[in-house]
Amino acid sequence: MKKIGILFCLLLGLFSCKKEITKKTVTKPKPQKVYKYGYDISNFNIVKDTVKKNETFGFILDKNHIAPPIINKIVQKSKPVFDIAKQLRVGKPYTIITSKDSLQKAAAFIYHANKVEDIVFNIKDSIYSKINKKQIKTIEKTASGIINSNLSTAIEEQGINYALTYKLSDIYAWTVDFFHLQKGDKFKVIYEEKFINDSISVGIGEIKAAYFEHGKKPFYA
C-alpha cells in the first residue's frame, strides 16, 4: 500500500511537470503620433530660427539643401496664398521641418506671420502653401479704474491689454478730450478679449458697453 502511494505521487509530479505553461503576452502600446503644422514630427527634425538681416527666403532654403529652381517654383506657386519673397520680415520667427537623415533636407518651411497665422510651405513630395489659423477663444471682461495722469497709464497699471486704450479713445473721440483729462476721472468698460492657447492675448474684440466720467460729467457708450 505504501509503495502504491509513492508511485501515485511520482506520477502526479511527472504530470504536473508536463503541464503546458501559459505565458502572458504583454502588448506594448503603440507610441501616439504627434502632429504639428500638419506633420507627424516623430518622422522629422524641427529647427526654429528667426529671419536675420539681409536674409531672403531663397537664402534660408538654400542653406537647407533646396535647389534654386525648386525655390523659385515654391515662390511662384505660393503667391496667391502668401508672397513670401516680398512679405518676409527681419526678426520674424520661422520653423523648418527637415529629414532625419544626415542631409537634413527641408521638407517644409513654416513662417510665423503673426500670433494667429502660420504660413506653411510644403516642399517634400509636392509643392503647395496654406495658411494655418490658430483657434481663437473670445472672453468677455470688465475693466474699471480711476485716472491719476492719463488713460493709457490707468489701463496699463491694471495689466489690461494696451489696445483697449485705442478702442476707448475712438469711442469717445468726439465727446471727451483725452489730452485734458482730470485727476479723478473714471472709466468702466465691458469688452471682449481674444486669446489663443487660453492664455495668449491677440487683441481686443467688441466693446459691449462703456462709461466715462470726465469732470464729474458722465458719458455712456
Query: What is the per-residue pLDDT for 161?
Result: 84
Task: Please tell me whether residues 147 and 107 are part of one structural domain.
Answer: no
The cell numbers describing 69, all together, are 529652381
The C-alpha cell 520667427 sits at 93
Final residue belonging to a domain, choices 92, 118, 133: 133
Task: Please tell me whether residues 48 and 123 are part of one structural domain.
Answer: yes
Asked whether residue 22 is domain-assigned, the answer is no
Task: Please tell me whether residues 54 and 98 are part of one structural domain.
Answer: yes
Helices (H), 31-127: 57-63, 68-78, 84-87
Task: Please tell me whether residues 87 and 120 are part of one structural domain.
Answer: yes
Which residue range(s) make up the domain with 149?
A: 137-220
Task: Please tell me whether residues 123 and 143 are part of one structural domain.
Answer: no
Task: Please tell me whether residues 212 and 187 are part of one structural domain.
Answer: yes
pTM: 0.73
- Mean pLDDT along residues 149-171: 89
Is the pLDDT at 79 greater than 80, yes or no? yes
Asked whether residue 68 is domain-assigned, the answer is yes
- Mean pLDDT along residues 19-40: 70
Task: Please tell me whether residues 149 and 213 are part of one structural domain.
Answer: yes
For residues 116 and 123, give the distance between their C-alpha atoms in angstroms, rounded to a whole number: 23
Task: Please tell me whether residues 121 and 143 are part of one structural domain.
Answer: no
Query: What is the per-residue pLDDT for 38?
Result: 87
Give the percent of the chain with pLDDT over 90: 65
CATH number, residue 156? 3.10.450.350
Query: What is the per-residue pLDDT for 157?
Result: 86
Task: Please tell me whether residues 105 and 160 are part of one structural domain.
Answer: no
Task: Please tell me whether residues 128 and 142 are part of one structural domain.
Answer: no
The total of structural domains in the chain comes to 2
- The band of 1, judged by pLDDT with boundaries at 50, 70 and 90, is low
Task: Please tell me whether residues 127 and 143 are part of one structural domain.
Answer: no
Final residue belonging to a domain, choices 98, 133, 168: 133
Dihedral pair phi/psi, residue 168, rounded to 5°: -65, -40
Asked whether residue 16 is domain-assigned, the answer is no
- The band of 41, judged by pLDDT with boundaries at 50, 70 and 90, is confident
